[in-house]
Amino acid sequence: EIVVADDSGLEVEALGGAPGIFSARYAGENANDRRNVEKLLRELQDAQDRSARFYCVIALAKRGQLMTTVAGEVAGTITKSPRGENGFGYDPIFMPNEFNETFAELTGQEKCNRDPNSRW
């Protein structure tokens, strides 16, 4: 039996790597994307350093033995307000380096070329 598992998160430099593995529930157990984004923006309100990265790890196991792990990341910055209608989660406030648009402003193909979650 083969098992595949993955997890990803947003790491913000000014917050010591938070929200990290708690990205999906950053504003609480029943939080939604909007509330998570609002909390993150409040915490970064006065931050000079808005650098961040999306990080994703996938693990493959067979018969209880870990076979391999693969990691991917994309560096960027957190914008001061949400922009764009595409994507989910923190996409409206995450602007990857080399772009002037947030993930939520990019087309599906453009995001696919940069997002570590879509490279697998």
Residues annotated catalytic, as ranges: 7
In SS3 terms, 7-26 reads as: EEEEEEHHHCCCEECCHHHC
Helix (H/G/I), strand (E/B), else coil: 12: strand
Whether residue 10 contacts residue 19, with contact meaning beta carbons closer than 8 Å, is answered with: yes
User: Residue 50 corresponds to which tokens in the numbers above?
Assistant: 């808005």
SS3 content of the chain, % helix, strand, coil (to 5): 30, 35, 40
